[in-house]
Structure 1
């Protein structure tokens, strides 16, 4: 069959499947009455589709896997909608929901594939692997009956082998320093938390810092626990870091924003073609209404992160610091389908309290939509605020009368350009090849016993002063094939040294050992501390 005939055959099928999908989605609409005008059309179209599908199933020249045909066609149907309406096959639902639900079934280790060997970076405290006797630094050479050392398996494949139903068992065969033979450990899989608040600590006597990577079902609880801890430590101001946070559950963002606002303050409103306007306002019961709050954003802060930043900005509650956010102002609902799959369907736009829609245009296709960040960089936006042009027709006012703009992301109150100080080709190469990270892992492996009693990042940095870390790393990278460039190493010295210390801090103490060190060269964070 030539391409023309094949296209002629598939086109009516795809169109028909679109109608079927619409019927399936309609079953899960919260208000069926709103769809009554179109209800009389669906049976006629459904019958036509049944006929076409029946033709294929019973009369087509070859055997057709109808389930596979539909699975492959649904993403094509959704492709011409907005970029955030997606289909999630049943096989992918568990992974898709992990960040939202906040847990998964697994063995409880962070691992890194170092020199083709799966090496335990960190054992989750109190988790299944710790109970089974797995230690930081152990090499996993076999999962069940499958060899994972020295074989061509990527991280996702190995992770899938370790995950499974709560209560199920898996044998891990490990190699440990000082032990002459491999050791087999049987691990009973448990509920492993997916942490959404990466870290929370005091920057100084009065300023707290909290970084969250998503807005999931358990994020609010993590957030409140972290905030209470910081308050007990003397916090008078909080810097909330939403850089690279791509969003999540709308209700979680609303609950977090509510903690900072007086009563009856508009947080946002939503509205769609089939949805009447719905306002979300603060209830006045927030615990941190008197705490100064500033928010860090970047070009990868999206959705719920932008809702949070927009509500703080439009209510003149605090400063937004960083660079223009992504520009996602659409609300999705996850609609389950009968086979365990789901559609995340865009049902409304959200608007910040001033009335802004911050959704950037998507009418020229997904490729251009997602390349917008690259185009911003090439246009100079990452380095110059003045390179951004605003549409005067999309001008709005905060409650205090400040001018803000809609049409594509949240523009910060304090613009901080991307820091290019110390950027060299050598720095890019040692980062791209992961030799810098590999060196820190190798260092930790050799000094693990000496560092086991170091309790905070300050102790780690004091310990590391005795080592010529940058020079050692450069020699390590040279042995792995990256030629030294002493001139560029000198130019990038401070960045290299700080990154090395931060990665070693993470190996030793997890994120609480990483962020306080890397923050020392984080110009956006340092600007926020000055405000």
Structure 2
């Protein structure tokens, strides 16, 4: 058989075997669609692993899900192991979070209190939208637009939310007014309502001024300067600046305020972080009050910018720090906006006082222990005994004048003043906790509003109140509300009760200009500062 005949014979057999082999091989290989889908899982992608997972859920998950809510829930988990002050602020909370910093909000311009299910106007903001619309102190608010607020279970926050809104928008208030037989409807155009950052400024005596500020916001410096100029014109030669319960705010504002008291080229503070080189902040010598004596009051609730202020005054030997060790918050946050209007307040550096002290207390043992620090201080006796504080000799620093100061977290005062326990009793605690003391003062003011309207300062108010047996009246009021009289507790706390009652009535009458001067009469930290 020649070769051509052999090739002709074998060709059909080879083709048949190839077809059979191909069919067998195909059984053991995935189809093209399977290979394609599997390959996609390993294709290069842009962004992080988290971006990829969110994309997978969004495009391939079996059910419909709200990936935006997944992201909102995930962000706090991402941040939980960072420092205690790196926080995420959802877009819905941004306006409220920034009010203290910006210094205003859109509202109707009233202070109100919900007493016995009745929303009562305590004070109308002078020159504000409600005053222009004819709202008066003592008016009862029945409705806000179509929402009934009288006689229903609704918290103050919800009522406040109803009254706030965008500037220029209208809100209809339905009110009941004493002497008017029918309800009155007033249309109020929401305006810019200032958030006051300087609570009060007044003269304690012929030469000593007192100024209390609750934050460091965008308008604080202007309020601060206006108050100091006024007090100086009244004869002030020493200023006591009260930063107790002031949790901080905007760093540049604090620097402006400190600058007013320092000679040129004095270090105010410096900041430094892993991604940020050291940045020094120094005085320019243009301050108006470089010769004014300065004392600063602090407490365990003074934080951040308050501690920067106190530390700069102390390390430059510019004045005395009086009170108790401050909170210990010395981390720098930058607020970085996100596309949906939310923000991340990210810690980027630490604050250091001029002597080199880090203000920040340790947080490496977790956030729970960090925030329990104040309770632990109380248990260890730090609020009552200076000697209970143990200083770390490795954290010893020197002021400009050579005085020794210590780091380790917070600012230690030059003059320690223990927490005042004078007049403390179980009854005082109970009548405060139940709000009966405060509610009595509101009820008193409401009943005596006509004759108190013309009282202009705290001295006139205290003189007017002399004829009233305020403590016993309050105790009887509380008893009618369910808190049994405690004669022993009333006697032990009599002076504290009397002063607090007078202070609250004064606040209802003329705001903080009445409250703080009266409360200051039993404020042991303030009284110690006056002696210095």
**TM-score (normalised: structure 2):** 0.91
Question: 1:263/1:64 Cα in 2 relative to 1: closer, same or farther (>3 Å)?
Answer: same
User: Secondary structure, in 3 states, of the residue corresponding to 2:471?
Assistant: helix
Residue of structure 2 in register with 1:287 after alignment: 288
Residue of structure 1 in register with 2:268 after alignment: 267
Residue of structure 1 in register with 2:317 after alignment: 316
Residue of structure 1 in register with 2:415 after alignment: 414
Structure 1 Cα separation of the partners of residues 55 and 507 of structure 2: 58
1:268-323 CA deviation, whole Å, 9 max, x = no partner? 00000000000000000000000000000000000000000000000000000000
Structure 1 Cα separation of the partners of residues 239 and 530 of structure 2: 10
Structure 2 Cα separation of the partners of residues 458 and 281 of structure 1: 42
Is the counterpart of residue 114 in structure 1 residue 115 in structure 2?
yes
User: Secondary structure, in 3 states, of the residue corresponding to 2:448?
Assistant: helix
Which structure's CA Rg is the greater one?
Answer: 2
Is the counterpart of residue 73 in structure 1 residue 71 in structure 2?
no
Residue of structure 1 in register with 2:19 after alignment: none
Structure 2 Cα separation of the partners of residues 396 and 205 of structure 1: 37
User: Secondary structure, in 3 states, of the residue corresponding to 1:46?
Assistant: coil
Residue of structure 1 in register with 2:496 after alignment: 495
* CA displacement at 1:366 relative to structure 2: 1.1
Structure 2 Cα separation of the partners of residues 485 and 434 of structure 1: 16
Question: 1:287/1:44 Cα in 2 relative to 1: closer, same or farther (>3 Å)?
Answer: farther
Residue of structure 2 in register with 1:138 after alignment: 139
Residue of structure 2 in register with 1:454 after alignment: 455
- Listed as ranges, the matches of 1:297-336 within 5 Å are 297-336=298-337
* CA displacement at 1:52 relative to structure 2: 2.2
* CA displacement at 1:45 relative to structure 2: 6.5
Structure 2 Cα separation of the partners of residues 470 and 419 of structure 1: 21
Is the counterpart of residue 346 in structure 1 residue 356 in structure 2?
no
- Listed as ranges, the matches of 1:216-295 within 5 Å are 216-295=217-296
Q: Is contact 2:45–2:52 with CA below 8 Å preserved after alignment?
A: no
Structure 2 Cα separation of the partners of residues 119 and 458 of structure 1: 26
Residue of structure 2 in register with 1:437 after alignment: 438
Residue of structure 2 in register with 1:391 after alignment: 392
Residue of structure 2 in register with 1:358 after alignment: 359
Structure 2 Cα separation of the partners of residues 214 and 314 of structure 1: 22
1:423-481 CA deviation, whole Å, 9 max, x = no partner? 00000000000000000000000100101111100000000001000010000000000
1:309-346 CA deviation, whole Å, 9 max, x = no partner? 00000000000000000000101110011111110111
* CA displacement at 1:47 relative to structure 2: 5.7
Structure 2 Cα separation of the partners of residues 158 and 54 of structure 1: 41
The runs of 5 or more residues in structure 1 that have no matched partner are 1-42
Is the counterpart of residue 381 in structure 1 residue 363 in structure 2?
no
Question: 1:376/1:45 Cα in 2 relative to 1: closer, same or farther (>3 Å)?
Answer: farther
* CA displacement at 1:53 relative to structure 2: 2.2
Structure 2 Cα separation of the partners of residues 520 and 47 of structure 1: 60
Structure 2 Cα separation of the partners of residues 193 and 491 of structure 1: 40
The runs of 5 or more residues in structure 2 that have no matched partner are 1-43
Residue of structure 1 in register with 2:26 after alignment: none
* CA displacement at 1:58 relative to structure 2: 2.1
1:63-92 CA deviation, whole Å, 9 max, x = no partner? 110111001111111111101010111111
Is the counterpart of residue 159 in structure 1 residue 160 in structure 2?
yes
* CA displacement at 1:60 relative to structure 2: 1.6
Is the counterpart of residue 196 in structure 1 residue 197 in structure 2?
yes
User: Secondary structure, in 3 states, of the residue corresponding to 1:91?
Assistant: helix
User: Secondary structure, in 3 states, of the residue corresponding to 2:318?
Assistant: coil
User: Secondary structure, in 3 states, of the residue corresponding to 2:506?
Assistant: helix
Structure 1 Cα separation of the partners of residues 55 and 421 of structure 2: 62
* CA displacement at 1:62 relative to structure 2: 2.0
1:22-69 CA deviation, whole Å, 9 max, x = no partner? xxxxxxxxxxxxxxxxxxxxx967164443222211222221101110
Structure 2 Cα separation of the partners of residues 44 and 413 of structure 1: 59
Residue of structure 1 in register with 2:510 after alignment: 509
* CA displacement at 1:180 relative to structure 2: 1.4
Residue of structure 2 in register with 1:11 after alignment: none
Structure 2 Cα separation of the partners of residues 300 and 366 of structure 1: 17
User: Secondary structure, in 3 states, of the residue corresponding to 1:319?
Assistant: strand
Residue of structure 1 in register with 2:64 after alignment: 63
User: Secondary structure, in 3 states, of the residue corresponding to 1:528?
Assistant: helix
Structure 2 Cα separation of the partners of residues 322 and 53 of structure 1: 51
Residue of structure 1 in register with 2:151 after alignment: 150
Structure 1 Cα separation of the partners of residues 117 and 75 of structure 2: 38
